[in-house]
Amino acid sequence: MEHTQSPKQYHVHYGPAKGLSCVDFGELWRYKDLIWLFVKRDFTVLYKQTVLGPAWILINPLLSTAMYSVMFGTIAHLSTGGVPQPLFYLAGTALWGLFSSCINKVSGTFTTNSNIFSKVYFPRLAMPISTMLSSVINFLVQFVLFFAMLLFYALRGEVHPEWAMMPLVVPILLQVGLLGLGCGIIVSSVTTRYRDLMVVVGFGVQLWMYGTPVVYPLSMIGDRFLRIAMLLNPMTAPMESFRVIFLGSGDVSLLMWITSLCWTVILLAVGLSLFGKVEKTFVDTV
């Protein structure tokens, strides 16, 4: 008499990551198509029922550049280190826009997507990552405008870019994106319980901008203690490096980059750890 062996029973358990060490990057890669769908969704939702649509990607930095040129260039007479004002302010606006967009959009990950999170399983980190990628794509569109303006002034001999250093822009953008991602997911994790902190985020990012050499060069900061505070700012090194590469004007040191990278690693690690903890119970608190 033959004995049939009963099939083995498997139990698959889906659960949130527990801290940085348990982030399943392989799983995130398997869900890359979903991440791309979220990126396309962000564009569709953002520019739906708008008159100019995606043209706002270019209009916003142009309006900011014009405003900064009048306020800080014409009225306040702030130095731009010999760089034409429109080019100087557009460079700072574009790179800072990438960073601030990452923070502001990623910070609402849990609160704006609670309905999706409570109905279907997928790696929760896919949502903030897709948001960061959307911000990077917006920056690349703005970068085309900036590069066209750069060529115009370069042909006139008013700026002298470091053409050989331009490949370094890729790691700079990666560092800025990861820094914004780390800050954003820290905020998103905290605001699941304390909603009023969302009001502080926008104001805090605005203050952070004025503490970063966005509308002025680092070289004009002469006070010792203020300069030390600027050097501890993790966005100072990428901002000044961006200007060195494209404008041939800036003040960058190895210490600035070590400080910036250390802050990026710390904030990203803390953010991923908090994200993994909050991920377990956010449905009950949001």
SS3 3: coil
Token code pair at residue 66: 């014009």
The number of folded domains in the chain is 1
Residue 6 lies in a domain: no
**Average pLDDT of 234-253?**
92
Q: Please list, in sequence order, all residues whose beta carbon lies within 8 angstroms of the beta carbon of residue 41, skipping any fewer than 6 positions away.
A: none
pLDDT in tens, 58-78: 888 889 889 998 988 888 888
Q: Is the pLDDT of residue 12 over 60?
A: no
- Which candidate, 205, 170, 209, places its Cα nearest to that of 186? 205
Residue 13 lies in a domain: no
Name the pTM for this structure: 0.84
Terminal-to-terminal C-alpha distance of the chain = 59
pLDDT at 10: 47
Angle of helix 169-190 relative to helix 85-106, nearest 10 degrees? 40
pLDDT at 19: 46
Residue 155 lies in a domain: yes
pLDDT in tens, 142-170: 999 999 999 999 999 899 999 999 999 99
Q: Is the pLDDT of residue 20 over 90?
A: no
**Average pLDDT of 179-185?**
91
Query: What is the domain extent for residue 278?
Result: 22-285
pLDDT at 49: 55
Phi-psi region of 262 (alpha: psi -120 to 50; beta: other; left: phi over 0): alpha
Residue 64 lies in a domain: yes
Residue 171 lies in a domain: yes
| Alpha helices, H only, the chain | 25-30, 32-47, 56-68, 85-106, 109-112, 114-117, 126-155, 169-190, 197-210, 224-232, 236-247, 254-285
Q: Is the pLDDT of residue 283 over 60?
A: no
In angstroms, the Cα distances linking 181 to 29, 173, 175 are 17, 12, 10
Residue 126 lies in a domain: yes
Token code pair at residue 141: 């569109």
pLDDT at 51: 53
Q: Is the pLDDT of residue 248 over 50?
A: yes
Q: Is the pLDDT of residue 1 over 50?
A: no
Token code pair at residue 8: 């083995």
- What 8-state DSSP symbol labels residue 164? G
Q: Is the pLDDT of residue 52 over 90?
A: no
Mean residue pLDDT of the chain comes to 82
